[in-house]
Structure 1
């Protein structure tokens, strides 16, 4: 690589690569050939993508609920092998297996960057986010910020790591936001989904008692399979769910709740099952949050929003997954050409857990 004005020029790659992009809102993702990245800034990594994953937010990007710069390559859940790096990168070497971060070019100087670990990814001065203002992981080669990336543990596969790049770090940070201690009660509304089933396992690994609610038969069965102490069918109605939760928690309710369901009644149910002065952490994107005033005023429920986590917190999550043998429930698709089908199936709720797309079959076989 030659260095010109702070940028390194990449040699030896094909001029174009396959990608699956959003070209128009409310239209299917399109398979295209686009230019291969050819320069790196000092803190950039170039990954040869091995496995990427499909997030529910990809549907919000597709339907225009969240602003994107079109055309843009989908997926902010990417893993791959470092094949080139900028001059300032010292933490990673060529050949390292990487879980990509979503953010780029944090300023490093604002209150968020210098504040508590849990604030760092909120930097308002940071560069464009992956799969919104810059291309994501549904392509063969991807530039990521080394300062936001994590090395994948040797014991972990690309197939496990890819969903953790968003689903994992999102539910992990939400769990950290509850500030619960071992032995306390956690409720997860939407416990049988891509985030929820990881949240159940993370919580159990931290010694919490977990009550899961879901409104789908497969979500209920997955909640039980991953170890929730009590699983409740949200279709029974808010009153019945509240009654069952208060019965098992000695009339107090859970100490905190994480809402990962985007169903309209979910937040009201989450607040209702939370004890007086407890905390409800809200995660979904794409619509307004509706909470009865009684829960906020008369029961003093504290509402927190949660987004992503820092690279340090993400690394701790990866270590926890390995230590406790946490399983990611996935449906695997092979090849970039399968992505439009995977997106359509996600929209129609036709698979369980996380949709994972193998981009580089050879990289996965080598593991």
Structure 2
């Protein structure tokens, strides 16, 4: 399949990739074939990866919690520079700096694809997602769906953008799904993690909401405060005490207007519902095997419980500009080189860093890390 690039770049036949080759086995750095411009489908983009990110759910893939094909290149948080485009791509050119979308090859015809834009990434006929059956971003070159990619704002660095591909996008959509007005209260359970610290800032800075942050780890409580939550509570004080503190902060109105669960603790959803007032909403984001909520919360408080998954391309574009406009900061740990991935994975397992981790693959890309005018 020819590309729209008049002179396609000459790429090496093989490239480095960090792959899962067996469940519960350390990631391996391997040499795999390089995708070539001549093989692009009409809606494809070929990227030179600049900075990919490590997500907590990468641990679930490694453990075999989700069905994936093996071997597969890990990471679904990818940023890079366009090298070549498929023949149907008109809105990107070689040299553009982009955030890769996780979804690939939506059908564009089903009810979901025809529905509201912010539902389209739920297309039941879409192709496999990045790092599931398609290789992910822990490699030097990557093919992504140009219809799901988003151009980075001029002032945003690749290192800031990479964690936004999943953690940021997921947090942003959850805040939007709450449907709150400025001045209303939102609760975030798991507020001091990679998603939570972004959700605090998005809710407060971009949407004008008041934020209750709940965490149970000293470092999570500290990051919640640093991220600007109006009230930070330690989940270890118990549900009754949490409810009382939240009621006092919200004027005795019975709790926050809506809550988001980004913690995978077995009681996190129950806690989120407990601090939410009657007729409020709880948005479940954390990926867990089972969500447990007392029936009394649902019936006697008339709560609305919704799930939220990633974000649509339109929501991601809106989020990227909000991050720049409202100075939303990513607590980032920057590593250099794909060789650092196995070490960072072990650090993540042990909780040895706060926030997110990303890896500089293309040191020569423009705006790789924050600084020099890039956020």
TM-score of Structure 1 vs Structure 2, range by shorter chain? over 0.9
Q: How many Å separate the matches in 1 of 2:322 and 2:2? A: 39
Does residue 1:330 correspond to 2:328, yes or no? no
CA deviation map 1:321-354 (0-9, x unaligned): 0101110001111110000111111111111000
SS of the aligned residue for 1:53 comes to strand
CA deviation map 1:39-68 (0-9, x unaligned): 110000000000010111101100011110
Counterpart for residue 152 of structure 1: 152
Q: How many Å separate the matches in 2 of 1:226 and 1:148? A: 29
SS of the aligned residue for 2:274 comes to helix
Is contact 2:211-2:230 (8 Å) kept? yes
Q: How many Å separate the matches in 2 of 1:300 and 1:288? A: 21
Is contact 1:10-1:40 (8 Å) kept? no
Counterpart for residue 189 of structure 1: 189
Cα RMSD of the aligned pairs, angstroms, is 1.6
Shift of 1:357: 1.0
Deviates more, 1:210-219 or 1:284-293: 284-293
Unaligned runs of 5+ in 2: none
Unaligned runs of 5+ in 1: none
SS of the aligned residue for 2:247 comes to helix
Runs of 4+ in structure 1 deviating by more than 3 angstroms, as ranges, are: 8-11
Counterpart for residue 315 of structure 1: 317
Counterpart for residue 29 of structure 2: 31
Counterpart for residue 13 of structure 2: 15
Is contact 2:118-2:314 (8 Å) kept? no
CA deviation map 1:279-323 (0-9, x unaligned): 000001142111111101111111000001111111110110010
Q: How many Å separate the matches in 1 of 2:110 and 2:184? A: 35
Counterpart for residue 283 of structure 2: 281
Is contact 2:259-2:276 (8 Å) kept? yes
Is contact 2:82-2:95 (8 Å) kept? yes
Which of residues 342, 345, 363 is equivalent to 1:343? Answer: 345
Q: How many Å separate the matches in 1 of 2:222 and 2:104? A: 38
Q: How many Å separate the matches in 1 of 2:157 and 2:331? A: 14
Is contact 1:80-1:98 (8 Å) kept? yes
Q: How many Å separate the matches in 2 of 1:305 and 1:82? A: 33
Is contact 1:172-1:202 (8 Å) kept? yes
Q: Give runs of aligned pairs for residues 131-170 of structure 1, distance below 5 A.
A: 131-170=131-170
Q: How many Å separate the matches in 2 of 1:125 and 1:298? A: 38
Is contact 2:186-2:209 (8 Å) kept? yes
SS of the aligned residue for 1:68 comes to coil
Q: How many Å separate the matches in 2 of 1:81 and 1:177? A: 31
Counterpart for residue 175 of structure 1: 175
Shift of 1:213: 0.4
Number of residue equivalences: 364
Counterpart for residue 236 of structure 1: 237
